[in-house]
Structure 1
């Protein structure tokens, strides 16, 4: 059993042996991104950021769906309401700004983030999956930038994530056609890291996450941070950031212990080729 279970509004966070598992729990709505689930993301990230024992985070859905995107039922109710302020363009802008506050935290989390996608990851659900460092998909997973179908533009960071994942021409195609992409094609395009059968997806994602537990937390967090800046940062600036980050990594206890182990001819604590999780 997980050592720590934190029930939230429409999701659950469990933490066991260094791996945090965040599960969307709105299966009847295909885990659409309700206001409550958005708040759950904020609370989950606060827990994970403040728990130094967490070395990897897995995101997943329940009931055969990852996330069906925005909650269109709630959108309809808001449009039909009597409050013109809630229907205004400025209210939409502020709602999206509040979403980006936690999407950026998810993207910048200083541990590996794995999205275990079973079933649909549609619209904002696709964006959330792309915010992870790795997408592991079941053979029945489906990805879709569905926004054009309802007359909207991609959101929740898709303009940042998608071109970096598949290249600009393909990103334009997926956004403008709003076509469905199966798991196998996602693997071919490069944004899906690995494919698994639906019944083995979550165990395999947890096994994958556990392989990071022995890794150097400081170095891995710094590596993520610099990689996230690589496309929009000049060489000179990135080199300066690299120098500063390397100084921090070299001062961390893991580095000293790894050097000593190497010189003694002992196995290193973190060796991806040797460990299987």
Structure 2
């Protein structure tokens, strides 16, 4: 995995689980161009490799991701290009978002975010783009954008609306209040909350379970749910049937049914 790793992103692969660690702990893993480029390259590589079956995203130290680097904002700078060249910044950020947030959302392989601390701004977008989110009890979520006079990026408005509905998404974006982990679970922003010291253990247990599962079926599950966000019931049901018929011929299905039959006959 060396070619995709940088000094701001740690990359490991173990038993089919690709773990990507945002690694700027001194700045609470605030985004940098180097980090985003490395993340994009790691996702490209991981999605192409057959030995990668699940992708896990987390942060080094005591934070998941603080979003945009406030120190950069304070200098009147942008990580995507000079402030007096908005066209360049627009192009570069659009490409970066598609290569990271959109790539995570559209990945046919399961993706899991392990939220080990503050999840803010664009960092919230990265987390929400993952299929599952497991939060440490001390984790907190916040949109953060309006606090610095911005409206949001990295897909946050769309992802929040899908997760909690339009009214709640507007509230979270307008007020930018801090949401504790347990409240985030109640809202549907995270799937599970665990003790801080159990986060990695629990997250990797889920990742390994998925990595050992039927990859083709899991990809179809993700595609079916994505279809449900844009199509009506009839179209979704038709797509489900097509996937169902295809998967009936898979080796995993045949082996699983044979094993189940053997258990019932004993």
Q: TM-score, normalised by structure 2?
A: 0.90
Offset of residue 266 of structure 1: 6.6
Match of 1:53 in 2: 51
Question: Residues of 2 paired with 1:244 and 1:78: CA distance?
Answer: 52
Question: Does structure 1 retain, via aligned residues, the 8 Å contact 2:72–2:78?
Answer: no
**In the alignment, does 2:93 pair up with 1:96?**
yes
- Indicate the structure with greater helix content: 2
Q: Tell me what 1:156 maps to.
A: 154
Aligned with 1:146 (options 144, 147, 150): 144
Cα distance change, pair 237–96 in 1 and its aligned pair in 2 (3 A): farther
d(CA) in 1 for partners of 2:243, 2:28: 41
Q: What 5-or-longer segments of structure 1 have no aligned partner?
A: 268-277
Residue in 2 aligned with 1:19?
A: 17
1:121 aligns with 2:119: yes
Q: Does 1:73 align with 2:71?
A: yes
Please report how far the alpha carbon of residue 75 of structure 1 lies from its aligned counterpart in structure 2 after TM superposition: 4.1
Question: Structure 1's 43 and 266: CA in aligned 2 closer, same or farther, altered over 3 A?
Answer: farther
**Equivalent position to 2:135, from 134, 137, 154:** 137
TM-score (norm 1): 0.87
Q: Which residue of 2 aligns with 1:223?
A: 221
Give the aligned partner of residue 191 of structure 2: 193
Indicate the RMSD between aligned Cα atoms, in angstroms. 2.3
Is the Cα contact below 8 Å between 2:58 and 2:113 reproduced in 1?
yes
Q: Secondary structure at the match of 1:264?
A: helix
Residue 150 (structure 1) shift: 0.9
Question: Any idea what the Cα deviations from partners look like across 1:235-272, whole Å, max 9, x if unmatched?
Answer: 333233223322332232111212222222279xxxxx
Q: In structure 1, the residue corresponding to 2:203 is in which secondary structure?
A: helix
Partner of 1:87: 84
Q: Secondary structure at the match of 1:212?
A: helix
Kindly indicate whether residue 175 of structure 2 is the aligned counterpart of residue 177 of structure 1.
Answer: yes
Query: Do the aligned residues in 2 keep the contact of 1:121 with 1:141 (CA within 8 Å)?
Result: yes
Partner of 1:65, secondary structure, is coil
Q: Does 1:264 align with 2:259?
A: no
Which ranges of structure 2 fall in alignment gaps of 5 or more residues?
none
- Aligned mates of 2:14, 2:147 — CA distance in 1: 40
Supply the distance in 2 between the matched residues of 1:44 and 1:248 (Cα, whole angstroms): 30
Structure 1 residues 79 and 54: alpha-carbon distance in aligned structure 2, compared to 1, 3 A threshold: closer
Find the aligned partners of 1:80 and 1:261 in 2 and give their Cα distance.
Answer: 57
1:9-60 deviations in Å (ceiling 9; x for gaps): 4111101111111111100111011001111111111221122222222111
Q: Which residue number in structure 2 is paired with residue 270 of structure 1?
A: none
Equivalents in 2 of 1:100, 1:266: separation in Å?
50
Matched length: 262
Q: Does structure 2 retain, via aligned residues, the 8 Å contact 1:32–1:68? A: yes
Contact 1:78–1:87 (Cα < 8 Å) also in 2: no
